[in-house]
Every structure is written in C-alpha cells, then in structure tokens.
Amino acid sequence: MALSVLLRILSFFRRTEPNLEEFIRRQDIIYVGGGNTANLLAVWRLHGLDRVLRKAYVEGTVLSGISAGAACWFESCLTDSFGGLEALNDGLGILPGSFCPHFNTEPGRPRSFLQTLQSGTLPPGVALDDGAAVRYCNEVVDVVYRSVSNAGLYNQTAKGICAVEL
C-alpha cells in the first residue's frame, strides 16, 4: 500500500481559504519552514493565526518546524531576524523557555546564546544542532533524533550547557 501525502500551503498573500481557523482545524500537522522569526510572528498576529495555532495545539494538532519555524513555538529565541544575533522574547510560548537553532553550524551562536542567558535577556532553554530534531510531548522533551551522528540537543542555562541524552 502506497503512502500518499497531501501538502497544503497556506499563503497570506494569495489566501484562498475564507476561514483561517477552519482551515487549520482540518490539518493533522502544521509544518513551518525557516525564515525571519520576527516577521513570521508579526504576520501571524496580524491575521490572528497565533490564537488559532494555540487552539489547534490544545486540540491535538502536531506543530513542527525548522529554524524560525521551530523557534516560533517557544517563549523566546536567539534569532538573526534583526541582522545580528539577538534575543526575541515574544514567541508563541507553547513551549517553555528559549530556543537556539543552528547551534553547531552558525559561528557565534553558542557564545551569543550563553551571553543572552547570562545577561538575563533570555530564559534558560535549549539549543539544537543542524542534523538533529527533537520531539516534545506535553511540553517536555520526549525524543531526540539524529541524521548526523554528533548532532544533538543541549540544555543551556547561564551557568553552562549540557547535552540531552534520552
């Protein structure tokens, strides 16, 4: 039996769905790609999608993403949305704490993430390497997946970092 996947893309610029909430409620999984986290959140809030996504999550829809599309689910993140690496403290807050993507591949991210935590600009959180994915269940890390052997997920506080082993 072949597995078929239906991919539906929601575009705010050519929106054909008359009811955004109904469209989201019909989806089992919401996947958000990368890009500019600050702009993504601003457009979502403008259209009320932030409220719709929270409601969908509570009702059991799986939320997923990569880079900005992963950072948006957290309370806070380290982002390059403003040019350099800076704190963004108005994520959706579905997942607690802060998030830093591209931890192993973008120079400056480990140092910048630690500095923002030490200054209190960001709350303690997690950093994720490229080549790794993390699954949360009830807002708690459940599984870390790796497509690259040394990629991982790290708990980060102002005192330092430690790898998450499951």
Q: Which of 81, 102, 147, 149 is catalytic?
A: 102
149 is catalytic: no
67 is catalytic: yes
Q: Which of 11, 64, 67, 81 is catalytic?
A: 67
Rounded Cα distance between 67 and 119, Å, is 23
- Sheet containing 160-163, strands listed edge to edge, beginning at the edge strand earlier in sequence: 84-88, 74-82, 95-100, 125-128, 153-157, 160-163
CB neighbours of residue 95 within 10 Å: 23
Name the residues annotated as catalytic: 67, 102
